Every structure is written in C-alpha cells, then in structure tokens.
Amino acid sequence: MNRSITFRTDEELIKAIKGPDEMRNQALYFAYFKLGWRESAINLVAKYGGDIHDGDEISNDALVAVDRNIRNDKFNQESSLLTYYLAIVKKIWWKRTRRDPKFKSLEFELDQESSTSLEDDFFNKEKLSFLEKVIEQLSESCRELLKYTQLGYTNEEIKVEKKFKNANMAKKAVYRCREKLKSLLQSNSTWYDF
C-alpha cells in the first residue's frame, strides 16, 4: 500500500473509500493517521475519562463505522468527515460509559436522523457470534471474493484482481461462494431470527 498518497478534500476521501479496495485502504489510512483522526479520537476519549487503550479501541470502531456508512451512502455530508467521525466516537463512548458513574457524563443527544446517520454497529452480540462462525467456515478465497462483491467490484474487476481467465469465470466463482454462504447461514435453524 502506498502510504504517501495525499487526499486534499473530504470529497476525494469519500470517492476513494467508495472505490477499489487498495484506494479505500489508502484513504482510510490517510484520514486515520495523516489527518489525525486517531489522535483526535484518543484525545476526545481521554477528555471523558478514558485511557489511551479505550481511545485506541474506540478510534478503531469509529473508523470501521465511518467506512461502512460512507460505502453504504449513510453519510449525508452535512458536516466534515472529521466532525462526523468524532460524532461516532462520541456515540460509541457514550454507549459504553453511560451507565458507569466513574466516567464523566457525556451529553449525547440523539435525534432520529442523526441516529441513523451515526450508525456505529450493525450486529448484536448473538448475531455477531453467529455470523463470525459462518464466515470462519468459508475458504479464504471465498471470503476475498465476497469482500470484493460487497465493495462493489464488477465481475470484470474481480477477474483482474483475482486473475480469472474471464469475467464469466469470476461471476461463477462469486455465485458459488454466495451459495455456500447462504447454505451456511441456513444451516442454523434459527437463522431467520437474526
């Protein structure tokens, strides 16, 4: 990964995060380290009573959430990306500490709209555990193909990335992996409850 690439605006970052995996990683790295997102998150958490380990963990979770929300068009671009990222940091920290009296109170008002926009996690513990077990049963190559599919790669792009002979073979491979994933998901009789 080329760590020297510079992104000058939020728009460039968003475009890259929605782009191919390599570019997405470069953009996230740039924001996280070069733009000081991580440091800001750690400082923010420290301000509300967390230590550096809390800050580090929260900064990771928030980056994952920002990445996901941008890719899934859940970032409405009404604020800067850094403001948005720190709002998610706050939300995660608030959720974690709101019932713990030893931490300073963190005012965090949520209206319906911002709650959707600041989505910071998708899964409850049971669902996360179930999904983790399922994806562990997939082969490494299948996981990779599914990642590219979810990142919006076309069959042609997957062909290039994974060196398939042609786009049709890439398409068939993706199909097989998706069928395998579905089969694994359905193998648990309670899957419908998730």
Partner 1 sequence: MHEELDELIDQYIRGKLSPEDKASFEQRMKSDPTIHEKIALAKLELDAMELIIEKDLRQQINNWKKPKRNIKKYVIGLSSLALIIIVILWYFYIPLTQSSEKKIDIPKTQDSIIRKELTPVATNNAPDTTSSNLADDNTKLEPDKKVPSVDKEENEYLAMANKFYMLPSAISNLRSIDGEDDSLNQVLQSFQRKEYRKTIEILTKSHNQIPANNQANELLAHAYFKTGQFTKASAIFNQIVTDSPVPEEEAEWYLLLSLLPQYPQDSTRIIALTNTIAQDQYHSYQKPAQQIAEYLKSH
Residue 55's nearest CA partner among 98, 117, 100, 97 is 97
Residue 7, SS3 per DSSP: coil
Least Cβ distance, residue 101 to partner 1 (angstroms): 30
Is 62:55 a contact under the CB 8 Å cutoff? no
Considering beta carbons, is residue 25 or 40 the nearer one to partner 1? 25
Sites of contact with partner 1 (CB under 8 A)? 25, 28-29, 32-33, 60, 63-64, 67-68, 72-73, 122-123, 127-128, 131-132, 134-135, 143, 146-147, 149-151, 178, 181-182, 185-186, 191-192, 194
Least Cβ distance, residue 94 to partner 1 (angstroms): 21
Residues 52 and 41: their CA atoms lie apart, in Å, by: 10
Least Cβ distance, residue 104 to partner 1 (angstroms): 27
Residues 161 and 147: their CA atoms lie apart, in Å, by: 12
Residue 113's nearest CA partner among 86, 149, 74 is 74
Considering beta carbons, is residue 27 or 86 the nearer one to partner 1? 27
Considering beta carbons, is residue 108 or 130 the nearer one to partner 1? 130
The radius of gyration of the chain's CA atoms, rounded to the nearest angstrom, is 19
Considering beta carbons, is residue 106 or 145 the nearer one to partner 1? 145
